[in-house]
Amino acid sequence: MGRRHRLQNGQFIRHDRPRSRDDRAVARYGHGRDWHDNDSGMGSGGRVICEKPNREAESSRGEALTEDSKPPLLYTLFSSNLYGTERMALATLSGLRDQFDPVLLAPPGPALKEAERRGFSCAPFRTRRELAGSIRHRLAAHRRLVFVATAITHSAIAVCLNAVYRRRLTHLHMVHGGNEEIRSYGRKWWLNRLDLMFVPVSGYARERLIAHGVRADKIRVIENFLPDERLRSIPRRGPFRGQGVGRVIVVTRLDPMKRVDLLLDALDRDPSLGSLSIRIFGGAANDEFRRRVEQRHPNVQLMGFQPDVSRELAASDLLVHTCPREAFGLAIVEAMAAGIPVLVPDRGGAGGLVTEDVDGYRFRADDVEDLARQLDRLRRVDADELNRIVAAGRATLETRFSETARLDDYRRIIRESET
């Protein structure tokens, strides 16, 4: 007879049940279903169910426990694009590889290819069963592991399997935010009783977790960072010499949540802003947005998605970021590295990255009149002020968003979790 482990009041309760024909430990989340949902589907009420493996079958396949000088660090992604979440996963694995053996588990795609290029171990998966198999394989082979999840189902599968294998598993659950409040934060409380630590990438993400019932004592904020190699590769704009800004850049996906339409509203509100040259880098613009740009805003160019816009940043005078609801905003940090000031909303993760009139500028979130007012002011601000803002942004980048400091945060939280 096999055993079923059910999470009940924070404890795993075992119930007799017929053994599955598949001897591997897997999580019962709709076997074989496509894996493109972020945090959907843990079962009713967040229950975690798993099946016990056939240990003799494990042994017959020649799997042996390994005492690791460099334990594996398993980082799971629910997508394999190269947006902020995936880029930070790669940067974190690279930065910690001196202490851990990096392993990326993700659907096939650009992030997995980049991980292979960097020499990481990679485990592609398309279904939950395949992901569970990859995790099970490493639990069976190692006594100590670090597991980093980006979706509830990742964490549930790992906890369920480790209830069987009982390894020394340090478990971090990353919270990068997303387009939907409920899927990004609203279900995370399901994991409150599990042995893991939530790691949001900003104070704003921490606030949203707490608002949705996540225990504050299980949260440690580690902000995103710019890897040193990336910092060295970004070209810098020269010092400002003339008055005001004229070339504006926007770097974002053109989803409704990103509120790029607010920028077009500001141009409508103040026709004098037509003197600004505005380039928008990002995919997924709908037909209505395109028509609006083509018919009413000849000073705006839709450049589409580009994987690297560092040269475009250095050729600009100002980055405008309009979204007040995302957790971070990596383009803001890259703009600081490129030597241009940033204008961001005063709410959300982006607002928390900038100290107003010190290392950047802010406008009232979702307020078209205030955005237009700030843009008009920045058209006429003197060069000395712009250079002062840029210098302070560089100092913020080298301290608050430094690779060394933030990787030390990861090492510290891993040590804390182990003890």
Q: At 384, is the pLDDT very low, low, confident or very high (cuts 50, 70, 90)? A: very high
Smallest CA-to-CA distance from 171 within 207, 204, 190, 199 is with: 199
Quickly list DSSP for 314-351: HT-SEEE---SSSS--HHHHHHHHHT--EEEESSHHHH
pLDDT at 39: 54
| Two tokens, residue 184 | 């990004």
User: Region 154-163: what's the mean pLDDT?
Assistant: 96
**Predicted model pTM:** 0.82
Q: What angle do CA 276, 282, 287 make, to 5 degrees?
A: 90
- Do 375 and 271 touch, CB atoms closer than 8 A? no
Identify the structural domains of the chain with CATH numbers, from first to last: 2-225+404-418 (3.40.50.2000), 230-399 (3.40.50.2000)
Q: At 154, is the pLDDT very low, low, confident or very high (cuts 50, 70, 90)? A: very high
User: Region 59-79: what's the mean pLDDT?
Assistant: 74
What confidence tens digit (pLDDT) does each residue in 38-65 have?
Answer: 554 444 444 444 444 444 334 434 455 6
Quickly list DSSP for 217-278: GGB------B-HHHHHHS--PPPP-SSS--EEEEES---GGG-THHHHHHHHH-GGGGGSEE
Q: What is the rounded distance in angstroms from the CA atom of residue 52 to the CA atom of residue 152?
A: 21
What confidence tens digit (pLDDT) does each residue in 265-281 have?
Answer: 999 999 999 999 999 99
Q: At 418, is the pLDDT very low, low, confident or very high (cuts 50, 70, 90)? A: confident
- Do 205 and 327 touch, CB atoms closer than 8 A? yes
Is pLDDT of 131 > 50?
yes
Rg (CA), the chain: 24
pLDDT at 63: 52
- Do 359 and 388 touch, CB atoms closer than 8 A? no
| Residue 108: DSSP 8-state | S
